[in-house]
Amino acid sequence: MAAPLLEQLSESLGSPEPAIRLILSILIGYPFAVVYRWFLFYQTPTVIHLFHTFSGLALAAFNFAGSQLYHSVVCVLIQFLMLRLMGRTVTAILSSFTFQMLYLLAGYYYTATEEYDIKWTMPHCVLTLKLIGLAFDYYDGGKEPSKLSAEQKASALRSVPSLLEVCGFSYFYGGFLVGPQFTLRSYQRLVARELTDCPGKVPNSVVPAMKRFALGFLCLVIYAIFSPHYPDSYYLTDEYEAQPFWYRCVFILLWGKIILYKYVSCWVIAEGVCILTGLGYNGVVDGKHQWDACANMKVWLFETTPLFGGTIASFNINTNAWAARHVFKRLKFLGNKTLSHVATLFFLSIWHGLHSGYILCFSMEFFIITVERQAQALVKDSPVLTKLANSPLYPLIYVVQQFIHWLFMGYPLVAFCIFSYDKWLKVYSSVYFCGHLFFLAAYLIMPYLRKALVPKKEGREKKQE
């Protein structure tokens, strides 16, 4: 009965059935959260873990029927056994990292197609980070607190978790399908009724949860209305190649803006589920209760920043924080921040998939951010540019910045979304590799601009720093 209804809904909305199932599954998290608040909040941890485990498995079965269901179960069980048998050792971390990543990459390899498909590897990439992070947090729990950073202290596990606890954490309906990332320690605090603005009582989180739901739903509506006018497939048509150069560039700009609402809407709606349960509670700041512990998007920053760094800081926050905590900062022994940054971006690229487009996208991100930081330093050190940036002309400068920003945000996203080599090469060729050339030219010219616009005194001080 459900299948024909889903087919009809898919046809009427013009969206693939797997996408409809995914959105419905994220929305079903709200009724699950209500059940938890009304009937299970004061129950024993065992009952709560069972509820979270079976509700998450039900969502998995709804989206990925048949043999696809066992992949997550296998990885959760093996991760639990590694914690128990290997203990708090570097071997356990390396084994967890290697096994979980190889399992995910094998999944990508054997299920790869020419299009982006919603299949079991989509939630599994979220689970992979959870389970690797679990190994790190268990390892940190065996260290002296004085040797841990504030982040590590907050997430360190002082005792070995039970299998049921790991399952509840892994399948929690608020983050199983699309995230956000959160630690087992946060999940334990949720079950212990610690994540609430009223100690020991159901959190007053309905209003903040509904605000995120409304914002996420608005983003979903925007995507549903405009995405049919900006399909990925248009890039590969003769009609696109026949358009003037300026039109092709503007299409990339608008497409890049619209395509991201797909991710924004899912993350913000899922965040609302986490807030409703209490998992989103983040303490008190300036006398106000905060509910942003599971925020994966800073929507206002995303919409208003004219900087590439600002967009990155506003987007997929918890995954970026996970990568910073468990990859970038743990590569401190390399003694080189740039090398650690490159290694982290490489990890994120293969975590997304094996297609060349992912590596190209993240390598461009590194290059663009490098050039932007140089440009920001130039503006800061140059009295002329600083004065111009603070002049009445700034609104005009802001508009130009936003145009450049969104044009070249969409540009690397082409490789990310149209990930096959022959496809993204065709698109970039049609716009004469303008993004590559723009930032290469900016990188090469920056030293000369610094020499011309920065007074010698400031220039010498900069070199000494």
Residues 43-76 have pLDDT tens digits of 999 999 999 999 999 999 999 877 788 999 999 9
Amino acid 357: pLDDT: 95
The answer on pLDDT for 456 being more than 90 is: no
Residue 92 CA to residue 86 CA, distance in Å, equals 5
CA triple 343-348-352, angle to 5 deg: 150
The answer on pLDDT for 443 being more than 70 is: yes
For the segment 126-139, the average pLDDT, to the nearest whole number, is: 98
Own/partner pairs, 417-422, CB within 8 angstroms, 24+ separation = 417/116, 417/232, 417/259, 417/357, 418/232, 418/235, 418/236, 418/357, 419/116, 419/353, 419/355, 419/356, 419/357, 419/358, 420/114, 420/355, 420/356, 420/357, 421/356, 421/357
- Catalytic residue, from 282, 289, 341, 352: name it: 352
**C-alpha dihedral over 298, 299, 301, 304, to 10 degrees?**
170
The answer on pLDDT for 92 being more than 50 is: yes
Q: Which of 123, 120, 122, 78 is nearest to 96 (CA)?
A: 78
Q: Are 316 and 263 within 8 A, CB to CB?
A: yes
Amino acid 112: pLDDT: 86
The domain limits of the chain are 43-192, 322-453
- Catalytic residue, from 63, 316, 318, 320: name it: 316
Give tens-digit pLDDT for 181-195.
Answer: 999 999 999 999 999
Residue 459 CA to residue 254 CA, distance in Å, equals 39
Taking CA atoms, 405 is separated from 168, 251, 390, 409, in Å, by 41, 14, 19, 6
Beta bridge partners of 288: 285
The answer on pLDDT for 1 being more than 60 is: no
Beta bridge partners of 297: 315
pTM value is 0.94
Mean pLDDT is lowest, of 114-118, 132-136, 432-436, 459-463, for 459-463
Respond yes or no: is residue 352 known to be catalytic. Answer: yes
Cβ contacts of 357 within 8 Å, gap of 6 or more:
414, 415, 416, 417, 418, 419, 420, 421, 423, 424
Mean pLDDT across the chain: 94
- SS3 of 285-352: the string is ECCEECCCCCCCECHHHHHHCCCHHHHHHHECHHHHHHHHHHHHHHHHHHCCHHHHHHHHHHHHHHHH
In the structure, what pLDDT confidence band is assigned to residue 465 with cuts at 50, 70 and 90? low
Q: Are 252 and 410 within 8 A, CB to CB?
A: yes
In the structure, what pLDDT confidence band is assigned to residue 461 with cuts at 50, 70 and 90? low
Q: Which of 357, 348, 343 is nearest to 418 (CA)?
A: 357
Q: Which of 341, 345, 339 is nearest to 362 (CA)?
A: 345
Beta bridge partners of 315: 297
The answer on pLDDT for 459 being more than 60 is: no
The answer on pLDDT for 244 being more than 90 is: yes
For the segment 274-299, the average pLDDT, to the nearest whole number, is: 96
The answer on pLDDT for 9 being more than 90 is: no
Residue 343 CA to residue 107 CA, distance in Å, equals 22
Higher-confidence residue of 269 and 113: namely 269
Q: Which of 279, 285, 313 is nearest to 297 (CA)?
A: 313
Amino acid 250 reads: V
Structure tokens, 461: 């001080």
Residue 323 CA to residue 330 CA, distance in Å, equals 10
Residues making up the chain, counted from first to last: 465
Cβ contacts of 49 within 8 Å, gap of 6 or more:
164, 165, 167, 168, 191
